[in-house]
Amino acid sequence: MRIRQQHSDEWPAVLDVVRRSFADADHRFVELVERIHNSPDFVEQLSYVAEVNHELLGNIILSKVPLHTQRGVVQARLVAEFGVVPEHRHHGLGSALLRSVLRSAENGMASMVLAAGSPSYYQRFGFRQSTDLGVSSPSAAIPDQHFLMMPLPQYDPVVDRGRPELPSYFAETGVKWPR
Ligand SMILES: CC(C)(COP(=O)(O)OP(=O)(O)OC[C@H]1O[C@@H](n2cnc3c(N)ncnc32)[C@H](O)[C@@H]1OP(=O)(O)O)[C@@H](O)C(=O)NCCC(=O)NCCS
């Protein structure tokens, strides 16, 4: 297994992994992932792939989201998409992807990584319910228990509190996110 940054020329292959990982999802989910990729919020250094025998089997994308605080806007990163193709789950690819991209995020400008998903999945990597740290869920559709946050080294617990803003393409694609 090799976990590495996505290369800029392999986006079509990454999108194919997204299609396979979310085969049961609304087709608009893939459209949303494309919108993220084409937006200024996409960070190539925070798009990772899992490769086995030169085949891509999983990927994770952390994108930029603003956190509105009392003292202005703070940069956060969001687990915008994260999947492993069904036939290769339960072999540690997902954990390895998440750990690698989190290490990479530690070297960047953001204060925190946010994620919407299963608390029991994310908590084992150090994520906590964001509201416990003063950061609200960005959407009424995401219950507080399912909105998680991992502080990064730049995190300031006094200042970095507030409300993340999901970029407009989340609503514009009309897809349920997290799917
Ligand atoms: C979540 C996902 C990326 C994990 O990939 P993976 O390669 O199977 O992950 P790992 O092998 O590192 O870990 C597997 C463990 O994660 C846990 N897990 C997986 N999905 C989970 C979920 N939705 N809730 C809680 N725990 C979960 C299980 O404990 C599982 O353990 P098991 O193998 O003993 O059953 C993969 O299941 C997937 O692509 N799911 C569909 C897409 C999705 O929901 N993505 C958003 C993630 S919240």
User: Distances in Å between the alpha carbon of 91 and those of 75, 95, 96, 99, 174?
Assistant: 33, 9, 10, 14, 33
Nearest CA owner, ligand 1 atom 42: 83
Q: Is the pLDDT at 75 greater than 90, yes or no? A: yes
Q: How far apart are CA 103 and CA 26, in angstroms?
A: 31
Q: Is the pLDDT at 179 greater than 80, yes or no? A: no
List, for residues 140-163, the tens digit of each pLDDT value.
999 999 999 999 999 999 999 999
Nearest CA owner, ligand 1 atom 23: 118
How many CB atoms are closer than 10 A to CB 67?
A: 25
Q: Kindly give the distance from the C-alpha atom of residue 159 to the centroid of ligand 1, in angstroms, as a whole number.
A: 33
Q: Kindly give the distance from the C-alpha atom of residue 94 to the centroid of ligand 1, in angstroms, as a whole number.
A: 7
pLDDT of 178: 83
Beta 147-151 vs 42-52: how paired, if at all?
unpaired
Nearest CA owner, ligand 1 atom 17: 121
All domains of the chain in start order, with CATH = 2-172 (3.40.630.30)
Q: Which atom of ligand 1 is nearest to the CA of 118?
A: 24
Token digits of residue 90:
């339960």
Confidence of residue 176 (pLDDT cuts 50, 70, 90): confident
* Percent of the chain predicted with pLDDT > 90: 95
Burial 160-173 (b: 16+ CB within 10 A, else e): bbbebebbebbeeb
Mean pLDDT computed over 61-69: 98
